[in-house]
Amino acid sequence: MLESHRLYLAAILSSLLLVLPLGTQQIEDKRYTKADPSSYSMPSPDYIHEGVSGQIQCAVLCSTAQTCFAYQYNTATQQCYIGEDVSPSGASLDADTRFYMRGKSAQKLGHIKI
């Protein structure tokens, strides 16, 4: 059930990336699309961000072990960026913003620079 829910959310995210007529931003070799805040929502509560300013909300949704999507949303500016293909290990990403998955151990999935 949880896996099908994740795949469903990933499919929705993929379709959003195709239809959003907004600019893109390069961050650490990843392409981020500026999203319309009215269509933005955080993914599954299984994923949580820790350790960043209260005005920035971040989360990661992984549909497979290799495919993850990063969300960053600034509540002050109401800007949302949806990033595609974020490394689950975080090896190729900047350390300024860290993403964690809530679970038995707070496993670091990756991080991006805001």
Residue 81: which domain range? Answer: 2-112
Distance separating alpha carbons of residues 114 and 107, to the nearest angstrom: 21
b/e sequence 57-71, b meaning 16+ C-beta within 10 Å: bbbbbbbeeeebbbb
Cβ(56)–Cβ(105) below 8 Å: no
Q: Which residues pair with 49 in a beta bridge?
A: 99
Total number of domains constituting the chain: 1
pTM: 0.29
Identify the helix (H) or strand (E) that includes residue 54. Answer: none
- Counting residues of the chain whose pLDDT is more than 90, the rounded percentage is 0
Can you give the pLDDT at residue 29?
A: 46
The string of pLDDT tens digits covering residues 28-74 is 444 545 544 344 344 443 333 333 445 555 555 555 554 555 666 65
